[in-house]
Each structure stands twice: as C-alpha cells, then as structure tokens.
Structure 1
Amino acid sequence: MEKKVDRISSLPDPLLENVLFKLPIKEAARTGILSKSWKGLWVPHPYISLSDNDLIDDDPDNWSIRNNKFIKIVDKLLLRRHENARIKKLQLSCRQGVEDAVFSRWYGAVLKDGLEELDFNFGRCCEKPLSFLTPCSTLVTLKLYFGPVSGHKFPTSFDFPSLKNMHLNGFMLANNFPEQLLKCQDLENLFLACFMFDNCFSTDQEQVELDQRQVLPNLNHAQIGCCDYSFRGRNDARLFLKNLITVLSNAKSFDLSLSIIEVIN
C-alpha cells in the first residue's frame, strides 16, 4: 500500500502563510496542531481580532486568570514577530482593561506605517493610556473606547493624513482638538461620545475662533455627544464647541446632542 504524502506541509512557509492569512485569526491559530511545520506560522497574521470572551476557562468568573491569558496571547502576537511582518488591522476587546505598561507596549508595537485599522475596546484602562499618538500615514480607522466617562486625556497632537473613520468614547479633549482634526482632510466619519472638556488640559497656543471656511471637505457623517456638566458656564468650552461644529459643518449628516445645542446657544 502506497504511503500517503503530506504535500501541504511540504509547501514553502511563505505559501503556507499566504493560505493562513486568508483565515480568521482564531481559525489560523488552530492549524498549529496539524504538524510541527505549521506551529507558529499563524503568529505573523496581519489581521488580528481578539476578545477576552474568546478565552475559555474552567472558572469563567475568574477574571484575573482570563485577563492574564489574554495579555499573554496578545503579547505573543504583537511582540514576537519579524519587523517586516506588519499588522494591518488590530481589534482588541477586554472588559477588565489592561495596565499602563501593557497598553504602552501594545500601542508602540503596532502604531506605525502599514497599520490600517486600530480598534481598542477596554471597559477599564490604565491611568494614562494615551500620552502620545505616533504619526501613521496609513491609518484609515481609529476606534478607542475606554469606558463611558473614563476622563482619559486625548493627545494634543496627532497626524493621520489617511484617516477616514474616528470613533472616540469617554475622552477629555484639549482646546486644539478641532484644529488637529483639520489635518485629517480625508475624514469621512466622526463619532465623539461622552467626551469632556477641561481648561486644565490646554495647549500653549491661544484659543482662537476658527474661520467658517476651515472645514473637513469629505465628511459624510458626524455624531457628537458630550458630558454637558464639563461645559456649562464656561466661555472657553463654548468656543471649543463652536470651533468643533465649524470644522464639522460640511458633513452631509450631522447628529448633535441636545446638551451641546443648549451650551452654544
């Protein structure tokens, strides 16, 4: 009887990787049990989408164990890869959140040219998750959720010339945020939820009223809703909202919360 030959495993690694990268990350990871030659081939996968819900523990209520497993898996995917094996899409969801050091090493490992989508959904996060935003010329989608009223300060400077979609939830925005948005001339969709304003979080530049011609030309949809208690009775906050609305005024569809309308009137 003729012995069966495993012709698939004998294929070159680059060809096998090309096959694996067409699979969802969880399916690609399972191929590691097929043979020694397949083990670890899935690690450089460019499209990563993981949630702590994907992990099955003997004790589903032991969040500490689940969180540690999640962190170890993500560390392996993000940090143990060749420099040329860039991530194009990264979606991470963890209800317990991560510590500052963990977030920083993940963030620094992926935010570089080649990345197209970054989506972090953490129910709770570290004290200061975003001290900077490294310029990234290829980023198209940025989604950051760190709780409905996290109070995390969004950086005063960011440079994403290819950005088309921005979703921010629970952030404290600096007074120059509208001017920074003008750098994203390709922006098509903007969602700002539960954001706050704090005069302690300001830039060195004096806040000035933007010209009505300073708008985002390609904006299709804008939706903004704030925590109104951080805006009431403050002229600087009122000017911030007016500038933000000016920048977004070219949107084909514009959803504005009632609380914002009350503040600017």
Structure 2
Amino acid sequence: MAPGLSRDVMHYCLPASPVSAAASLSAAFSDGGGGEDRISALPDGLLRNVVSRLPVKDGARTDALSRRWRGLWRATPLVLDDAHLLTDGPGVDWRAPAAAVVSRVLASHPGPVRWANLLSNFIDETNQDALAEWLRLLADKGVENLILVNRPWFDKVPVQLPQSLLCCGISLRRLYLGVWLFPFTSNGPPRSPDVFPHLRELGICQGIMQDCDLDYMLACSPKLEIFALISNYCMPDRVRIGSHTLRCVLLWHSMVAEVAIIAAPQMQRLIIYCTHAPGPGRTIKVKIGYAPQLTVLGYLDTAKHVLEIGNTIIKARVTKVSPNTEVPSIKVLAVKVRFRVPGEVRTLLSFLRCFPEVETLHIMASDNDTDYYDDPGEVKPRDKLNSTFWERVGPIKCVQSRVKKVVFDQFSGGPNQVEFLKLVLARAVLLHNVIVLLAGPESMMMNEVTGKLQPLASKRMWANKSLRKHSLEVRGRAAGHIWSYSNASDLSISDPFIS
C-alpha cells in the first residue's frame, strides 16, 4: 500500500473528535434590545456542557466573557484536539501547532482530561522532550481517551514512544497509537493488570510493535474489549489472542503471517479486511481455537488464507467434516473468492462446511485479481471444473438448513458465479433474501447481469417453493464506496458487512 493511502486509511479509522472546529458560542438577545444574556442564566452544569463542546482555544476564552463564566473552563473535563490550535497562513510551519502550545494547554487545565486528540505535531529527536512532557501531564490528569499519532516522515524510522506512555494507563479507556515505534517491553516493566486496568479499546496504527509487545498489552489490559491493527506491516508478525475479555479483533489493511484465537471465551467478532501476507507466495494462517461466543467472521480469503480449526488445517477435497473441524457459533460469515479459479471454488465449499450454523452469508467475488499462481513465471496447467461439478457438490449443512440471507458483492456474472447462486437457491430451504451488488455501476452491466439473474427470481428455482415472500434484489454499487470501519468495530451492529 502506498504511504499516502496508508495514512488516509489510518486517519479514516481513528475515533472522531467529540468537538467540531465549527462549534461557536453566541448569546441570544431579547427582541427589546435590552441586551439580556440568556445563556449565562443557565445552571452551571449546562454551562459546563456548552464549554465542553467548544474547541479548546474558544473554551479557554470564555473566562473573559463575564464573571459568570470565569472558572467554568477549568472546572470542565478537558477535551483537547490539537487540530483546533493550528494557525493558517503563508510561511507557517506545517508541523504547527508548536509542541509548546499543546504543553501550555495541558499545564493550564487542572484536569481531568476526557479526550486528547494529538495528531498534528511532528515529533522527532529535536522535540521528544515535549512528547514525554505531554504523557506526564496526561497521566497526572487522568486522561480517559487518547489518540496519539505522529506526522509520518517516510524516510525515517518512527520515533520510539517513551516508557512513560505506560503511566497513562491507569485512567485510559480508549487508546489509539499511530506511526510510533512501540516501547519495547521484553526487558521492561512486569506484566500486570494494574498497567491498563480500565482500557477497553486499543488501536495500533501504522507502527512498529514486536510480538512480545502485543502480548504485553493484552496481558496488562484486563478489561480490553476491542483491539484493532490498522495499516501495520509485519510488526507484529503474529497476532495471537489469549484474552478473557476481548470481544472484537480487527485487522484492517495490515500485513501479518498469522492471526490466531488461542483462548478467547468472550470473543464475538473477528474482522480481517484487506490484509496481506508478508511477501509474495506466502499465506496468512487464520486459526480458530477456543472461542465459543464467536458469531461474526470475515473476510476469509480463499486465495490468501489458510484456515485452521483446532489443530486441523482445512484443505479442499482432503479434510473430512467432523465436530473437530466445525465452528458452530458462527452466524455471520464473509468469504472472498476468485470464482474463475477452480481451486478457490473448492476451498469456498470446504470453508462453508466448517460453519454449519451460518444464517447470513456474504460472498465477495474478486475475479479482477490476475495472480493465478504464486510465481507468475511458473507455467502450470489450469485446473478446470468439469461440466457436472455443481451437480456433484456434496451436502453443505449451513446452506441446507440455516442460511436465510445471502449478499453477493462484486457480482459480474462471470464463470461459476451464477452456478454458485443456483446451488444455494436450490438447497437453502430457509433462504428468503438474496442481494446482488454489482461490480460496477454501469447501466450496461446492470442490464447484462439482470438478464442472467432474472431466471433465478422464479419460485421454481428456490428450494422452498412455499415461501410467501422471497426476494432477489440487484443493486448497482456506488463509485468509491468504502466499507465502514466504524460499522466493523461497532458491537451493537449484528451484521457489520455490506448489506
């Protein structure tokens, strides 16, 4: 991924600031021209709520409005977004605001710090002392939400975070770190649940972290529920999850060799999106161990992922279905597949047999991918599906007895795509809703694909012909549509995939 795109992905995934730069304060005056200030007559609690929604520089200035406002800003939990301290104009350093300005704001407010967005400074060896000072002040004032991102400088190794970061952990609820070299913990402080006792959400973005550092963070976060690895490249190389509290793990536009759920009794969701293996010809092992509450999984990629359940690697035409190769808790499954590659079609069918209780199935075609083989210079005979392949496909339990909804994304009507839909329609007795999202918004494609799909809308093609209502809906995809990271990480949304 290009550096600029990687940076865009990272910023797209960061939690939104609770304060808008467009927020402003204006008093409402009476029509009689008496100059009555009705806002100042509000109770202290409401006034502090008003101040908390203002950019920090405007909130601090409310002290000068009148005696009524004096001290309200200092009595309100601090929300600091350093983007609101930027100064526009010719000749202004793009790395502004100066680190000293951030330090001055943090020093002038007694705390607590409800939210700190520190994204606009460039920290290098010349101003690392300022970073250490921020972390000291944030720790002293009980920061609850911290988003700390360095301005990337692509010809240099990221700056190492000081160990004092760990001192902020006592009060933190949410922590996102971007473009940093994580403080090495192998010879550092001992693992203890007292390091991050209240941390519930952790995001590591475009940084460098050893496998042991990730293990340390998980071991020191006894209440962690959401962990995200965003735009990271091989560090950590292996994401191995052993946590009694984690409910959601997201690997987003990252490069890893393995993601493994070792023991996660509360895990509900594993999202693997646009994640790549560390090098050409390599794959990513996706291992599911003890995760009895895991209900959402995807996108499994038939080209890039090696699925291991328990201690069994799932191989098409080799692995026999058994309780040891099934994950019955999965209700929402998403799989990415190149339908024109017969080996991947077989892998798709093998994957489906591992999840017998799936109710919502998301399929994403990736037939625009051109890499048939690991080595493009290697000549191999192309595998083929014979004319009776689809008729001889064996039982798939989830399709036959559980699937109620299918979403087919990036549909083009290419080889094996229509045949797969026919197979599902003919066997899924509970299926009542099929949504087909086209690979492009062109009207010509819409007409062509609609023609191919029209026969499938007939009730005689569906396994349950007695259903009063069933629907096959074809939609054009909006140009530039991006799947939402916020949906993927929102545990209140039962199906986070495109629908």
Equivalent position amino acid for 1:140 in 2:
R
Q: Secondary structure at the match of 1:63?
A: coil
| 1:86 equivalent among 108, 112, 116 | 112
Change (3 A) 1:220 1:174: closer
Instruction: Report the CA distance between 1:196 and its aligned residue.
Output: 4.2
Aligned to 2:104: 76
In 1, distance between residues paired with 2:276 and 2:255?
11
In 2, distance between residues paired with 1:168 and 1:78?
24
Pair 1:114-2:142 in alignment: yes
Instruction: Report the CA distance between 1:103 and its aligned residue.
Output: 0.5
Equivalent position amino acid for 2:169 in 1:
C
Instruction: Report the CA distance between 1:117 and its aligned residue.
Output: 0.7
Change (3 A) 1:75 1:11: farther
In 1, distance between residues paired with 2:255 and 2:49?
47
Any idea what the Cα deviations from partners look like across 1:92-131, whole Å, max 9, x if unmatched? 2215346210100001111257322111122148732232
User: Are the equivalent residues in 2 in contact too, given 1:118–1:142 (CA < 8 A)?
Assistant: yes
Q: Secondary structure at the match of 2:251?
A: strand
Aligned to 1:153: 182
Pair 1:137-2:155 in alignment: no
Q: Secondary structure at the match of 1:111?
A: helix
Q: Secondary structure at the match of 2:202?
A: strand
Aligned to 2:222: 185
| Aligned-residue CA RMSD (Å) | 4.1
In 1, distance between residues paired with 2:80 and 2:41?
29
Any idea what the Cα deviations from partners look like across 1:160-209, whole Å, max 9, x if unmatched? 1221110011122242532540332322211113154489xxxxxxxxxx
In 1, distance between residues paired with 2:136 and 2:144?
15
Instruction: Report the CA distance between 1:254 and its aligned residue.
Output: 3.1
Aligned to 1:164: 200
Q: Secondary structure at the match of 2:262?
A: helix
Bigger mean CA offset, 117-126 vs 247-256: 247-256
Change (3 A) 1:189 1:94: same
User: Are the equivalent residues in 2 in contact too, given 1:172–1:195 (CA < 8 A)?
Assistant: no
User: Are the equivalent residues in 2 in contact too, given 1:141–1:165 (CA < 8 A)?
Assistant: yes
Aligned to 1:29: 60
Bigger mean CA offset, 185-194 vs 14-23: 14-23
Change (3 A) 1:166 1:54: same
Equivalent position amino acid for 2:212 in 1:
N
User: Are the equivalent residues in 2 in contact too, given 1:20–1:42 (CA < 8 A)?
Assistant: no
Pair 1:262-2:264 in alignment: no
**What are the ranges of 5 or more consecutive residues in structure 2 without an aligned counterpart?**
1-33, 286-305, 307-499
Change (3 A) 1:45 1:263: same
User: Are the equivalent residues in 1 in contact too, given 2:52–2:77 (CA < 8 A)?
Assistant: no
Paired residues in the alignment total: 229
Change (3 A) 1:247 1:80: farther
Aligned to 1:252: 269
In 1, distance between residues paired with 2:130 and 2:196?
24
Q: Secondary structure at the match of 1:177?
A: helix
User: Are the equivalent residues in 1 in contact too, given 2:52–2:78 (CA < 8 A)?
Assistant: no
Aligned to 2:77: 46
Change (3 A) 1:36 1:96: farther
Bigger mean CA offset, 245-254 vs 189-198: 245-254
**What are the ranges of 5 or more consecutive residues in structure 1 without an aligned counterpart?**
200-209, 232-240
Q: Secondary structure at the match of 1:103?
A: helix
Greater CA radius of gyration, 1 or 2? 2
User: Are the equivalent residues in 1 in contact too, given 2:77–2:112 (CA < 8 A)?
Assistant: yes
Instruction: Report the CA distance between 1:81 and its aligned residue.
Output: 3.3
